[in-house]
Structure 1
């Protein structure tokens, strides 16, 4: 699984989501477990706790978290939170 596929799954599974997925470390081609980092922005996170927001991302990835993805670092934001974050607030 690659970063584009993880982004596609998240964006397809969460309403109006914009996902940016990277690989946070240099992979060891022989032993690499699939480690990803995601920043996800969606109005679907409005009024939800951080745990609920992360659960939406896990749900969007369906069974891939137990098969294709070993670890996922994530940051989730509503659009307003992301704007504040981008502005340095």
Structure 2
């Protein structure tokens, strides 16, 4: 899939790639250059884990939207392959 860099130096990420990754405006991402390739990943989220009550509870310092049932199901299916 081809794309371009505009005169301001911005990289155009094709819609099919944005949709496949779930990228939406305002989502923080990390871009790195490794071994001749540009990699785009979701930026890590600062979180803490508290397991003092038996089950782990993850708390973030960022405002993170909850996962939908569809997102959880798709992630499970992807990792089971």
Normalising by the residue count of structure 2, what TM-score does the alignment of the two structures yield?
0.26
Rg (Cα) greater in structure: 2
Normalising by the residue count of structure 1, what TM-score does the alignment of the two structures yield?
0.25
Q: Structure 1 or 2: larger helix share?
A: 1
